[in-house]
């Protein structure tokens, strides 16, 4: 079967690889139908995630069909269409029992395209199938639920819930990529009075505007700090960092009001200066989190009820035969205007 393998920084190859096989009774083998590329896949390709061994199949976000199940799998049968989340859960370790699946101690957590072969392949082995997969309701298309695999729960859990966004809040989202936009579309569930989205890319700000941002600000054109202070009357209640570089984190610390929250969502590859000499006196809370996926059932219900529509986040669709082009389009978002890129694998 065909798969996209990582061989080192800047080196990915489409190759014929052996078919995956059941290794544990709790495994399933799935046929990937629809997948998407993540900013984290690009981080890996830049060499920022050294644990990924050469030869690993990339990808951790897909909708698939179960082809085979191990003897211990009870909830799924061949033919079931399933959401394969980025985070796997053994279901029984102390962190899984606390719904902190991202911290699973038993071989779960973020493993696809990281510690085991991922989902940019025609087939994949899914560990802990019963406690990791979700059935797709028959009335929904793959594209309706595809972003439940990672970006929607990441934006919601790590940004909105962790940042404790509540009714009436003013929220700044720094970064208008897929994660920032996911925080934007899920912020509405908590009733903020104002959501301000900040990015250097006008195309992405335009998408943010279409998805309901009240204000979009481009720091290359205006003084974002002054603008946010004047819009909010003294700073936002919650600043969400959705880029993962030092400048954007520091900007969040300058936009938040005393007593406010900074929710870091971005994947950082280098150290950030924490200005405690300014922050210590301002009662600010800073949070970090890897997505757990515990809100997938809630977000799925909202999508079924047509209260949440993630489909506008998809800007491009490619067949799997054009997967290399899809990576390039996603990696060059400023020129291609890409947000999420959908791969139709089968």
Which spans of this chain sit near Zn ion (rule: CB under 5 A)?
A: 38, 40, 86, 90, 93, 96, 104, 106, 108, 150
Q: Cα–Cα distance between 175 and 16 in angstroms, integer?
A: 37
Distance of closest approach, residue 62 Cβ to Zn ion, in angstroms = 11
Judged by beta carbon, residue 40 or residue 289, the one nearer Zn ion is 40
How far apart are CB 236 and Zn ion at their closest, in Å? 26
Q: What letter would DSSP give residue 304?
A: H
Q: Are 13 and 4 spatial neighbours (Cβ–Cβ below 8 Å)?
A: yes
Would you say 52 or 86 has its CB closer to Zn ion?
86
Please report how close the Cβ of residue 105 comes to Zn ion at its closest, in angstroms: 6
Helices (H), the chain: 39-45, 94-97, 129-132, 142-145, 151-153, 178-187, 202-210, 224-232, 246-255, 276-279, 296-304, 323-331, 333-336
Closer residue to Zn ion (CB): 97 or 275 = 97
**Minimum gap (Å) between residue 274 Cβ and Zn ion:** 26
Distance CA 226, CA 240 (A): 18
Rounded Cα–Cα distance for residues 28 and 74 (Å): 11
Q: How far apart are CA 122 and CA 19, in angstroms?
A: 9
- Hey, what are 206's tokens? 């335009």
Comparing CB distances to Zn ion, the nearer of 150 and 169 is: 150
The whole-angstrom separation of Cα 236 and Cα 276 is: 19
The residue number with the shortest CB distance to Zn ion is 38
* Cα 9 from Cα 11, distance rounded (Å): 5
Bridge partners of 84, per DSSP, are 62
**Residue number, 44 or 240, with CB nearest to Zn ion:** 44
The nearer residue to Zn ion, 172 or 265, going by C-beta atoms, is: 265
Q: Provide the minimum distance between the beta carbon of 283 and Zn ion in the complex, in angstroms, as a whole number.
A: 33
CB of 96 to Zn ion, least distance (A): 3
Say how far apart CA 258 and CA 135 lie, in whole Å. Answer: 43
Among candidates 317, 319, 295, which has minimal Cα distance to 83? Answer: 295
Closer residue to Zn ion in complex, CB, 35/251: 35
Q: Output the smallest distance, CB 95 to Zn ion, in A.
A: 6
Query: Least separation, in Å, of the C-beta of 90 and Zn ion?
Result: 3
Q: How many CB atoms within 10 Å of residue 91?
A: 16
DSSP state, residue 112: B
Which CB sits closer to Zn ion, 150 or 237?
150
């Amino acid at each position: 079967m065909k798969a996209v393998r990582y061989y080192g920084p800047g080196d990915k190859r489409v190759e014929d690889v052996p078919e995956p096989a059941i290794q544990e009774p709790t495994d399933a083998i799935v046929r990937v139908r629809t997948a998407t590329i993540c900013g984290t896949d690009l981080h890996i390709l830049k060499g920022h995630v050294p644990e990924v061994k050469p030869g690993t199949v990339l990808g951790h976000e897909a909708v698939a069909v179960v082809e085979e199940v191990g003897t211990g799998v009870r909830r799924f049968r061949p033919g079931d269409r399933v959401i394969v989340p980025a985070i796997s859960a053994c279901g029984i370790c102390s962190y899984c029992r606390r719904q902190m699946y991202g911290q699973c101690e038993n071989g779960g957590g973020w493993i696809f395209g990281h510690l085991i072969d991922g989902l940019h392949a025609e087939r994949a082995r899914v560990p802990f199938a019963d406690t990791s997969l979700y059935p797709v309701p028959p009335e929904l298309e793959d594209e309706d639920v595809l972003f439940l695999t990672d970006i929607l729960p990441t934006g919601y859990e790590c940004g909105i819930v962790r940042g404790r966004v509540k009714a009436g809040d003013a929220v700044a989202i720094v970064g208008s990529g897929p994660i920032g936009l996911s925080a934007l579309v899920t912020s509405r569930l908590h009733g903020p009075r104002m959501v301000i989205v900040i990015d250097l890319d006008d195309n992405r700000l335009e998408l943010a505007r279409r998805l309901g941002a009240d204000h979009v600000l481009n720091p290359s054109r205006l003084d974002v700090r002054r603008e946010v202070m004047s819009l909010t009357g003294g700073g936002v209640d919650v600043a969400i960092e959705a880029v993962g570089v030092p400048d954007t984190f520091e900007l969040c610390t300058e936009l938040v009001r005393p007593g406010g929250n900074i929710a870091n969502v971005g994947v950082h590859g280098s150290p950030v200066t924490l200005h405690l000499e300014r922050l210590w006196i301002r009662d600010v809370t800073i949070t970090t989190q890897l997505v757990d996926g515990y809100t997938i059932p809630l977000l799925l219900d909202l999508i079924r009820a047509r209260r949440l529509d993630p489909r506008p986040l998809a800007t491009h669709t490619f067949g799997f035969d054009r997967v290399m082009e899809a990576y390039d389009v996603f990696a060059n978002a400023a020129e291609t205007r890409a947000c999420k890129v959908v791969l139709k694998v089968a």
